[in-house]
């Protein structure tokens, strides 16, 4: 069974600093990869997704992620964060290259941007 690990439960960072949120997955087959963001007291919304093609994926709000198949990672990055980026971020994977397969979520990383 696949699993998704987000190594950092909390990441504090100062405004305008760069940030990387780490995501590793375990799967022996091809995968689809997703990052979701959850602002306080709201549902999850999609930041970006990797289905195929270029391993560098750009999403909304200036975020990007890179798929590294050999390291089974899909780390999320932003070169300069804003206070408004304070939220919880979830990495998710579906296995087998079939988008119809179930998504497995990581435990989430709380990004705390400080002024």
Question: Interface with other proteins by CB under 8 A: which residues?
Answer: 9, 32, 34, 36, 41-46, 49, 51, 90, 92, 94, 98-103, 105-108
**Which one, 56 or 99, has the nearer CB to other proteins?**
99
Look at strands 73-78 and 64-68 and give their pairing. antiparallel
Min dist CB 1 to other proteins, Å, is 11
CB 15 to other proteins: min, Å: 25
CB of 24 to other proteins, least distance (A): 15
Dig out the tokens for 50 from the structure: 């990797």
Q: Are 78 and 19 in contact (CB under 8 A)?
A: yes
From the number of C-beta atoms within 10 Å of its C-beta (0-12, 13-18, 19+), residue 21 rates as buried
What's the CA gap between 48 and 77, in Å, rounded? 11
d(CA 24, CA 20): 13
**In angstroms, what is the minimal distance from the CB of 72 to other proteins?**
18
Residue 16 vs 98, nearer CB to other proteins:
98
Nearer to other proteins, 18 or 107 (CB): 107
């Amino acid at each position: 069974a696949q699993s998704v690990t987000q190594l950092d439960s909390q990441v504090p960072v100062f405004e305008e600093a760069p940030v990387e949120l780490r995501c590793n997955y375990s799967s022996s087959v091809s995968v689809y990869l997703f990052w979701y963001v959850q602002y306080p007291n709201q549902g999850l919304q999609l930041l970006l997704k990797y289905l195929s093609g270029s391993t560098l994926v750009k999403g909304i709000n200036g975020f990007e992620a890179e798929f590294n198949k050999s390291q089974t990672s899909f780390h999320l990055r932003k070169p300069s964060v804003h206070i408004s980026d304070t939220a919880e971020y979830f990495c998710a994977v579906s296995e087998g290259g079939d988008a119809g397969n179930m998504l497995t979520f990581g435990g989430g990383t709380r990004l705390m941007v400080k002024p």
